[in-house]
Amino acid sequence: MHTLWKGSISFGLINVPVKMHAATESQEFQFNYLHKDCHHRIRSIRKCPTCDLEVDTADLVKGYEYEKDRYVVLDDGDLASLEQPMSRSIDILDFIELKEIDPIYYQKSYYLSPEETAQKAYRLLCRAMEDSGKVALARVTMRSKQHLACLRVFEEGLVMETMHYPKEIRHMDVAWDRVVLTDTELAMARQLIDNLVRPFEPEKYRDEYREQLVQLIESKVTGETHKVESPVKGSKVVDLMEALRTSIAMTEKEKGKLKVKDSAVRAKGKEMDRKKEKGKDEEEGIGEKPKSSLTPRKRTTTRAKEA
């Protein structure tokens, strides 16, 4: 796994050296622009519109537009002077409840794995966080930019989520003054939600567009014809109540099918458990008839009476 960054997690007097790896990867296809006539790739050219010259990378500088068409130039030295002195440290600021963080703050996930010399300290931090049920809010500098971050336990290791700062979050500007909801509408909406409640099973969600794109590309490579099925369009329901009733009826049927399926799975599981228990009992000798029964005792008593 490619290491993106090396540093350490620090809190109190504890310092845990770690390596950072990307926790996710883009599955998007990268397309190139080609010349229509010869199918050769088009080369991107940096050209100054004022000088009408092609500009090399070495001739570029960074500029910030503070007014229309007016820029202040910042060189590498200016930016380097602002870098944080502890750019190789993930500084834990606070431990908090995960549910207090709204997902809108999250940017990207990274795995943090321990250096060889820090495995015990790393494991200790993981276990302590797991037992407390808390996550860590931290500050880290990567690529000359300071990030707010959340550290949490995932698959017995640490994952770090870089986060947006509050000023980066835009607020919704929606007015609900003219919207009136009835109790019936709310009750039906809640019923629809209840009917659609499922356990989270990430494996069942697929990127259908990507799968179709793979098939299309493969058919183009092999010269085969690929037909894309048009999505089935549902009937347009204008009335909100009618839409709720129709949706509830549809989900009730699906819910019934799931109940039958779950019952069958549970029954199969119980049957397997019974077979396991039966096999275990037979191995231990449980359930067999004892060698000595009451019959010999009765015979003995009868003979005594006769005598």
The amino acid sitting at 176 is W
Which pLDDT does position 49 carry in this prediction? 84
The CA–CA distances, whole Å, from 66 to 6, 26, 48, 74, 77 equal 35, 34, 20, 12, 20
Which pLDDT does position 223 carry in this prediction? 80
Q: Would you kindly state where each structural domain of the chain is located, as residue ranges? A: 5-24+88-168, 180-206+237-271
Contacts of 14 (CB under 8 A, 6+ apart): 121, 125
* Low-confidence stretches of the chain (pLDDT beneath 70): 26-29, 83-87, 230-238, 259-265, 267, 269, 275, 278-307
Which pLDDT does position 112 carry in this prediction? 94
Which pLDDT does position 282 carry in this prediction? 60
Identify the bridge partners of residue 38 per DSSP, sorted by sequence position.
none
The amino acid sitting at 129 is M
Q: Where are the alpha helices (DSSP H) in 202-239?
A: 208-222
For the entire predicted model, the pTM comes to 0.63
- Local structure of 151: helix, strand or coil: strand
Which pLDDT does position 231 carry in this prediction? 62
The DSSP element (H or E) to which 274 belongs, if any, is helix 240-284
Return the CATH class of domain 5-24+88-168.
Answer: mainly beta
What's 100's DSSP letter? Answer: G
* Furthest CA-CA distance within the chain: 135
Which pLDDT does position 304 carry in this prediction? 41
Closest CA to 123 of 109, 137, 136, 112: 112
Which pLDDT does position 236 carry in this prediction? 57
Which pLDDT does position 153 carry in this prediction? 96
Q: pLDDT tens, 58-115? A: 888 889 898 988 889 888 888 777 766 546 888 999 999 999 999 999 999 999 999 9
Token duo for residue 1: 């796994």
DSSP one-letter string for 105-141: GEEEEEEEEE-GGGHHHHHHHHHHHHHHT-EEEEEEE
d(CA 88, CA 140): 8
d(CA 11, CA 138): 9
